[in-house]
A and B are shown apart, each in its own frame.
Chain A
Amino acid sequence: MEIPRHWRLRGQRYGLVGEICPHCEAKIFPPRDICPSCGQEAKTLYAFSGKGEVYSYTTIYEAPTGYEENAPYTVALVKLNEGPLVTAQLTDVGDQPIQIGMPVEMVTRKLRQDGDERGMLVYGYKFRPVFQS
C-alpha cells in the first residue's frame, strides 16, 4: 500500500475521527458522507471517545502478507459507546481471557509492516482491555 493512502486516513487511524449526522444525530464511523441511519448528507466531523466493548472476537494464526510477525493476534468487532461497530485488533491483553461484553479502549499501535526493515510501517488504532482499578 502506498503512503498517501494511509496519510489520507490519519484522522481516523490516530484519532478515531468519524462524523455526526446534523439531521438525526447518528454517530458515524468510518466517515461516509451519507448517513446510514437517515440517508441524508452528513459531513460534520466527530471525534469518538475510543471507549467500547467487545461484540465478538477471534484469533488469526495464518496471517496475510504484512501481518505475519504479529501472528497469532486477536481481532474483534468493537461496539463503541457512541453506537457504531469498528473492526480492530485487540492488544495488551496479557493473560486475561477475552469475553464478549468486555470493556475496551482505543490505543495507537503498529498495524503492519511492508517489506523488509526499510519498509513502511503503518500505525493506527487497536483496542486494549480497560483495567479495573
Chain B
Amino acid sequence: MIMTDIILAGIGQTPVSEHWDISLRELGFKAIEAAIADSGGLRPQALFVGNMLAPNLSQQAHLGALMADFAGLTGVEAVTVEAAGASGGAALRQGYLAVKSGLVDAALVVGVEKFTDAIGPSVEAALATASDSDFEAVQGMTPTAQAAMLMRRYMHEFDIPADGLAGFALTAHANGASNTNAMFQKAIKLETYQKAEMVSEPINMFDMAPNADGAAALVLTRRELLPIGFSHPLVRVAGSASACDRLALHERRDPLWFKAAQFSAEKVIKQAGITLDQTSLFEYHDAYSIYAALSLEAVGFARRGQGWKLAQDGAITLSGKIPCATLGGLKARGNPGGATGVYQAVEAAAQLRGQAGANQIAGARHALIQSLGGPASTAISHVLERAE
C-alpha cells in the first residue's frame, strides 16, 4: 500500500435533468471529458463505472467496455461497480483502492445513470430490484414505499408533527437554487411543503428526491504524479470505507437504525484522524427526507429520534453547525442513481477547493460524504480533505 496522498485531481459533471436528447454513453462521456480536462490531461489506466440500472432500463450491461471505448480509452482496465444507489460511492472506493494499492497510477471514476430510457411501471420494477426480490419486491414493494414505512414508524415512535421533516427539503431547495447543475434551482416555502401532494403517505413529493439522468466523473492519482503546473488546491481522500447491513428491511432488529451508515462513517472519521465536530460539511444520501434524518443519527450528528430537529432548527443550512446537501443534495440537485455518489464527491471537492460559488462553506477543510444503497443496506463513506 502506498502511503502518499491520493488526490482528486479532476472533477466533472453534467447537469442533472431529463436528457431526452443524450444517450447513456454520451452522458457518461461528457463527465469524463470534463474530469480529464480538469485534471490537466491525466491519462487513466483504469476506469470504474458506477451504474445501477442500465441493464434494466437501457438493456445495456458491460458499461466498462462501452464507456472506455466511447471515451477513446480502449485498452484500459474497465468494469462496472454496482451497489444499487451506492454504486457511485462504490466506484469511487474501487478507484481509490486501485490507486492506493500502487497497481494503478491514475484511475477514472464515472457515475452515470439514464433513467429516461424507460418510463412508468418498468422504472418502479427496476428500482425494486435493489431490494430482496423473493421477499420484498414480490409483494409489490417499492423503495419509496419502504421509505414511507420508515418515515411513518419514525414519526409514530418519536411523536413528530406532520411537517416535522420539512426542513430537509427546504434546505436542499435553498441550496440548489444557486447550483446550475441542479435539477431544481428554486427555493421552496414551508407552505409549499405542507400542501404538497402525497406520493405514499406520509411521504409527499418533497420528501423524495427526483430520479433523473446525470453523469459525474473523477480522476484520482497519487500526489507525486500530478501534472506539472497543476493549478487546483489539492483535495485528498482522507478516509474510505464501505459497510453493508441486512439487505431486507424486515430482517433488521431495529429498522430505524442505519447500522451500515454508522459503521462506515465511524471508520472514515477515524482514518481521517478527526472528530465529527471537525467536519465542515456532510453530503448525506437524502433520497428521502427520512433517510437524511436517520443518517444524521447513525453518523452521530444527532441522537436517536432527534435528526429531524437539526433540519428544523437550521443546523444543516450553509451557515449552520453542520451544513448538509450544500449544493442541493439528492433532493434538489437530483438523484441520478448510480451517479449520485460521484456527484457528492465532485461537489465536496468543489467546496474544499473553494470553488462552490454562492454555496461556498468558508474555510471548508473536511467533507464527509455518504452514498447509500437501498435503506442503507450498503453505506459507503468518504472523508475528503483539503491538503496543505
CB pair A77–B128 under 8 Å, yes or no, is no
CB distance from B347 to the nearest CB of A (A): 29
CB distance from A68 to the nearest CB of B (A): 6
- Please indicate the chain B residues that have their CB under 8 angstroms from the CB of A92 in the complex: none
Is B124 positioned at the interface, with any CB of A under 8 Å from its CB?
yes
Is B249 positioned at the interface, with any CB of A under 8 Å from its CB?
yes
Q: Given A60-B145, A75-B145, is A87 in contact with B139 using a C-beta cutoff of 8 Å? A: yes
Is B248 positioned at the interface, with any CB of A under 8 Å from its CB?
yes
B136 touches which of A67, A87, A124 (Cβ 8 Å): A87
What 0/1 readout, one digit per residue, does chain A (99-132) give for beta carbons within 8 Å of chain B?
0100000000001100000000010101000000
In the assembled complex, the Cα of A58 lies from the Cα of B89 at a distance in Å of: 30
Q: Which of A58, A67, A76 counts the most B-chain CB atoms under 10 A from its CB?
A: A58
CB pair A58–B138 under 8 Å, yes or no, is no
Is A40 positioned at the interface, with any CB of B under 8 Å from its CB?
no
What 0/1 readout, one digit per residue, does chain A (1-15) give for beta carbons within 8 Å of chain B?
100010001001000
Which DSSP category, helix, strand, loop or mixed, fits chain B's interface? helix
Interface size of A as a range = 35 or more
- Please indicate the chain B residues that have their CB under 8 angstroms from the CB of A55 in the complex: 149, 153, 255
Is B251 positioned at the interface, with any CB of A under 8 Å from its CB?
yes
B249 touches which of A12, A60, A87, A88 (Cβ 8 Å): A87
What 0/1 readout, one digit per residue, does chain A (51-85) give for beta carbons within 8 Å of chain B?
00001111111111111101001011100000011
Q: Given A56-B149, A56-B156, A77-B255, is A64 in contact with B137 using a C-beta cutoff of 8 Å? A: yes
CB pair A64–B128 under 8 Å, yes or no, is yes
**Would you give 11 A-B contacts (Cβ < 8 Å), ordered by A?**
A1-B138, A55-B153, A56-B150, A64-B122, A64-B125, A67-B140, A68-B121, A70-B140, A75-B140, A85-B252, A111-B139
Additional 12 contacts, C-beta under 8 A, given A57-B152, A111-B138: A56-B153, A60-B142, A62-B142, A62-B199, A64-B124, A64-B127, A66-B140, A75-B140, A75-B145, A77-B153, A87-B135, A89-B140
